Amino acid sequence: MPVTLEPFGPAVLSNPVTVSRTNFAWATLIDLGGRGRLHDRLARALRTAIRDGKLAEGDAVPPSRALAEELGCSRWVVTEAYAQLVAEGYLAGRVGSATRVSWSPETPPRPRARRTPARPRTRYDLAPGLPDLRAFPRRRWADAVRSVIGSAVHYDLDLPDPAGHEVLRTTLAHYLRRSRGADTDDSSVFVCAGVTDGLVRTCRALHALGITDVAVEDPGWPRLRDAVTTAGPRVHFVPVDDEGLRVDDLARTPARAVVVGAAHQFPTGTVLSPARRAGLVRWAREVDGFVVEDDYDAEFRYDHRPVAAVQGMDPGRVFLLGTVSKTLSPALGLGWLVAPPATVPALRAANPVTAAPPVLDQLALATFIGRGWYDAHLRASRRRFRTRRDLLLTTLATELPRGRTSGTAAGLHVLLHLPQDVDTRATVRAAASAGLRLADLDDYRVKPAPDRALLLGYGNIGDTEIPAAVALLRESLIG
Ligand SMILES: Cc1ncc(COP(=O)(O)O)c(C=O)c1O
């Protein structure tokens, strides 16, 4: 028996954004009155609704079974009506998805998705920040993962400890004691997703402990500053000179914690001098505060023995943050945080739902380190990077004699200081459009400074590409 239904109710259609069309009370919305067969009347009612704009382009109509039930008719009536409207171009259906309105009263030209201009292809990558991605130890990492899958006990698959799996924490504590001179055990090691994540966690804890002001280096990596503010504290900028962070300037800020790149400051490449290291620890004691040591690429020091972490000088005042982003790959998202023991409860409490990285990845890293593969990989990387750095430095000296390099003793990038007349910003842009990636020191500065310098990373470029990359750089210099 045909049902006579009310016309569309304006109130129901007044808010098309928040109303799901498939949830309409269709029986009250479709007027099936008039003459003709029921499926024709249903098709007409829907067509009118679409033409009047009451059903807009893209809206889903209900599944045929649901609408049939609601209208009290057979499903065949609905499928016939839908088929008619599909044939007329008012509806469009795809297998496995809802049938939708495909027409509007004045179908406006579809706004074309704005095309982002195609990024020029990178031919040579001298941007700082990456290790040698081609040299990722795929086979050994796969062996570590395979071994973990086979050997993990069933409760390793339980809800993970947000501080990290105890096996990796113990492995890291041991590794950091022997390789970085850290003073720690597993109870104060937290596994995190890298330095950035570790800094957010640390600053949340510091904030909860009443530390509202944290200093960062200028120039510095902007993500560290962002990590601090994300966690709550206010940020203060402290200048860096050729001995590293200026502790006297730090003491003039209201900060009671400071983030510092002691082994290899980014981006200047300076190594914190012994006097400054001692001064920093003294400052932390005087203000009853903390040092947060960013140890991001400390593994790569070429001309001297690695300098131990500042953390070992006062484990009660210094947090130590590390990462595999520079040694293996940033795609792994694995790092560590060593906390002063007294802050461990605050760290746990301030990060109650922040999960550590996936447990199987943590166990793979523990296996990778435990079997000596991490040390072997670091030894090989150090050799490769030293050779590559030397090649870069000699090529620069020949091709760009007006430039002067600094920050070369450690890490994965050097600074190339250029005469005042060089426009480094325009140079970076010109190089990028020629397929060469590099960075401008100014991009890491908060306080402007007159000297001009480029950052040249050599982690992710092949040795044989260096001469061509430097030649391209010379051609791209603007000024
Ligand atoms: C100064 C500095 N610290 C730390 C990192 C590593 O951060 P994450 O471990 O979050 O990748 C980087 C990476 O470029 C960096 O430049």
The Cα 409–Cα 425 span in angstroms is 26
Taking the centre of ligand 1 as the mean of its atom positions, its distance from the CA of residue 406, in whole angstroms, is 20
Residue 164 in contact with ligand 1 by CB distance below 6 A: no
Q: Ligand 1 centre from 250 Cα, in Å?
A: 22
Q: Can you tell me the distance from the alpha carbon of 424 to that of 69, in angstroms, rounded to the nearest whole number?
A: 70
Beta carbons of 125 and 457 less than 8 angstroms apart: yes
Determine the residue type at 453: A
**Would the CB of 237 count as within 6 Å of ligand 1?**
no
Collapsing DSSP to helix, strand or coil, 423 comes out as coil
Domains in the chain, start-ordered, CATH in brackets? 10-101 (1.10.10.10), 124-128+376-476 (3.90.1150.10), 137-373 (3.40.640.10)
Largest CA distance in the chain: 96
**Going by CA atoms, what residue is nearest to atom 7 of ligand 1?**
195
**458 CA → ligand 1 middle, Å:** 16
Nearest to 227 by CA among 205, 262, 190, 201: 201
* Ligand 1: centre distance to CA 412 (Å): 12
Alpha-carbon dihedral angle through residues 371, 153, 353, 346, given to the nearest 10 degrees: -60
CA of 61 to the centre of ligand 1 (A): 50
Q: Which amino acid is at 92?
A: A
- Ligand 1 touching residue 327 (CB < 6 A): no
CB burial of residue 33 (10 Å; 0-12, 13-18, 19+): middle
Say if ligand 1 is within 6 A of residue 194 CB: yes
Q: Say yes or no: CB of residue 351 within 6 Å of ligand 1.
A: no
User: How remote is the CA of residue 111 from the centroid of ligand 1, in Å?
Assistant: 39
Distance 195 CA to ligand 1 centre (A): 6
Show the CA angle centred on residue 238, arms to residues 270 and 333, nearest 5°: 65
**Close Cβ partners of 377 (under 8 Å, ≥ 6 residues apart):** 137, 140, 327, 328
Buried b (16+ CB within 10 A) or exposed e, 50-63: beeebbbbebbbbe
Spatial distance between the Cα atoms of 437 and 130, rounded to a whole number of angstroms: 12
Mean pLDDT in order along the chain per 10 residues (479 residues)? 37 36 61 80 87 84 86 87 86 82 68 61 93 97 97 93 96 97 97 98 98 98 97 97 97 98 95 96 98 95 87 98 98 98 97 90 98 98 96 97 94 96 96 96 96 97 96 95
User: Does 336 contact ligand 1 (Cβ within 6 A)?
Assistant: no
pLDDT at 32: 76
Q: Do the Cβ atoms of 402 and 454 come closer than 8 Å?
A: no
Q: Is 261 in the pocket of ligand 1 (CB under 6 A)?
A: yes
Return the exposure string of 76-101: e unless at least 16 CB atoms fall within 10 Å of the residue's CB, then b. ebbbbbbbbbeeeebbebeeeeebbb
Q: How far is the CA of 399 from the centre of ligand 1 (A)?
A: 30
266 lines ligand 1 (CB under 6 A): yes
H or E segment and range at residue 235:
strand 234-241
Mutate to test the pocket of ligand 1, among 190, 217, 259, 266 (most ligand atoms within 8 A of CB): 266
